[in-house]
Structure 1
Amino acid sequence: MSFFDRLKTMLRALNQPAKTEHQTSQPADVVAPTSETDEHALQASATDALLLVHHLDSDGHELQAPDMIGGKIGEEIHLPAATIAGYHLVRIDGLTRWFTQPKAQIVLHYERQAGQPIWVYAYDIDQRELIGHPTMYRGQLGKPYRVKAPTVAGFKLLRSVGDLTGEYTTTSKTVLFFYRNENWLQTDLSTGFVQITAVTAVYPYPGATTTRYLTKLQPGSTYKTYMRVRLSDQTTWYSIGQEQWIAEQMLQLTTGVALLPHLPAGYRTQNKRQVQQTGIVSFVPGKKVHTYLEPYGRYLSTVTHGETVELVERLADDNRVVWYRIKGRGYLPGRYLTHLDPPYA
């Protein structure tokens, strides 16, 4: 049942007088008025009547051409369905059940439906974490929006990803703003090793002058680093863990050989020989696998699944693990190679 059908049903019910216990039924062939309104309906004249139905938005603008409904004075009015995409009906002015005058109007008032939100996030590009709480923009469908970068104390804006302007639609949108600590001039991810040259304190962030860490690093100890930062005062700091930083003047770069795992106890190469073969890397589709400087050694490079490589050496150790050396790219376990050509060398 449509909205207007429900309205007419409610109006009809209100027009029916309540029966009392003294009222009796009349014969079926006798038709008597039950209310003043029904008397008016029975007295419908031949006078033409025209009703205009307007559809207005919250600013009073017509959303579509007015509906024209014709009839005779005294006849019942049948309103059209009031469905307009993106709007919902909030009020009706001049609603009536009957044609009562030659010219009349009914005004339907609509509001624009709300669009899906625009979510805004501030993101620390170096620490890879959100800064503060997300911001949500809301508005009506079709209305324009303009997103502004949040001001984040202690950070400078680098760039944004997402539409900064547009219209609210039925689909939610996301805008990311990337920031960097205002005292950080340059950063790079560092996966190398450093060796401590003097007793060194560990600080919670680059440039800190006090620390909550009681333990100090000893000379000669070696640590893996994850990030290097150069500050506005031209000092450089290395991260050796979450919220653990050491100053560059207290260390020197190293290969980190001391941290590499020892070779298996039974490791000894045998059947080591030069080969001239090709093979196809078999790992995970779309992924890369590491090659090694030497068997069981440190990472040297990577090769891609499905890549054809040139093999120049083959060896096996006491654990019966077969290794191939890829020309100019280090060693790779034989289990990651298929379609050797020729099959044997």
Structure 2
Amino acid sequence: MADSFKTGNPIWVYYTDIDTGANLRVPQLLRGFVGTPFNIVELKFPNYRFIKADGQLNGSFDMQPHSVHLYYRRNSWGEVQNLAMYLKLSTPTQLFDDVDGMPVDTPLPGGIFVKTFQRIATQKGEFWYEVNADRWLKYDSNTMKDFKELPSDDSLAPKPGTQLAILPLNHLKAVVDYVQGKKLDVYDQPYGQSVGKVIDGERLDIIGKLNDNNGVVWYQAKDLGFINGSYVNLIQ
């Protein structure tokens, strides 16, 4: 009889976009007495379909900690792959804030390589590549070529930024101008390996500037690395 009036451990329920990790609604907290049954349902969300559940959808409250994750995917998205590869752009290419989203930033110049991190195949048969946080490009076989690794052929490979002269700057003040609340990669060299992230609005101490062979400006931030100049605002 005592247990019938004893409150069990609460159960957290999360409804999550499986690809972005975003919550589709505020996480729910279920409470009940020990032995009381619970039932978690698959909610419907506009433009999303249910993929899978991680955790018990049915059971009884007890004294053990529990959490349940229900995962969903956008209806327009088909296959999703996490992959590291390179695309060579032969013409200026527009970036978008999301798959089939709004155009953002200045188009990337032609003749450069960009590193990709994720590929989305849509239900319309399109391929979209994520090239930075919240930055996507739509694949066009007529203007792009994919590579698993940067080619060693000098006629194809971009010249490493480290082979170009870095203009020293005297600790200029700057701020990251990206997407509110989002983080941007910092690299060990232009087009190199990601060595960290900075968040929109973060203050920077700029100690160098480099204009690469593709006409792209890179800034070197003290103790951080290189950041694409498109996302850096110098403070006068």
TM-score band by shorter chain is 0.5 to 0.7
Letter in 2 for 1:211: P
Listed as ranges, the gaps of 5+ residues in structure 1 are 1-83, 88-111, 265-297, 299-345
The answer for the alignment partner of 1:330 in structure 2 is: none
Rounded Cα–Cα distance in structure 1 between residues aligned with 2:104 and 2:160: 32
Rounded Cα–Cα distance in structure 2 between residues aligned with 1:174 and 1:156: 21
Q: Deviations over 1:165-218 (max 9, x none)?
A: 11011123111111111110111112000011221110011112x3232x1111
Shift of 1:139: 1.6
Rounded Cα–Cα distance in structure 1 between residues aligned with 2:158 and 2:59: 54
- Asked if 1:211 is matched to 2:128, the reply is no
Secondary structure of the 1:130 match is coil
The answer for the alignment partner of 2:68 in structure 1 is: 175
- Normalized per residue, the structure richer in strand is 2
Higher relative contact order (CA 8 A, sep 6+): 2
Shift of 1:132: 2.6
Shift of 1:259: 5.8
Contact 2:18–2:71, Cα closer than 8 Å, also in 1: yes
User: Match for 1:194 among 78, 87, 90?
Assistant: 87
- Normalized per residue, the structure richer in helix is 1
RMSD of equivalent CA atoms: 2.5
Rounded Cα–Cα distance in structure 1 between residues aligned with 2:20 and 2:9: 30
Cα distance change on mapping 1:175 and 1:190 into 2, 3 Å: same
Shift of 1:153: 2.6
User: Match for 1:161 among 37, 51, 54?
Assistant: 54
What is the number of equivalent residue pairs in this alignment? 157
TM-score, L = length of structure 1: 0.42
Shift of 1:253: 0.6
Q: Deviations over 1:34-84 (max 9, x none)?
A: xxxxxxxxxxxxxxxxxxxxxxxxxxxxxxxxxxxxxxxxxxxxxxxxxx5
Contact 1:122–1:179, Cα closer than 8 Å, also in 2: yes
Rounded Cα–Cα distance in structure 1 between residues aligned with 2:118 and 2:21: 12
Contact 1:207–1:231, Cα closer than 8 Å, also in 2: no
Listed as ranges, the gaps of 5+ residues in structure 2 are 152-156, 164-191, 193-236
Contact 2:88–2:145, Cα closer than 8 Å, also in 1: yes
Shift of 1:128: 3.1
The answer for the alignment partner of 2:220 in structure 1 is: none
Larger Rg: 1
- Identity among equivalent positions (%) equals 22
- Asked if 1:256 is matched to 2:173, the reply is no
Contact 2:94–2:104, Cα closer than 8 Å, also in 1: no
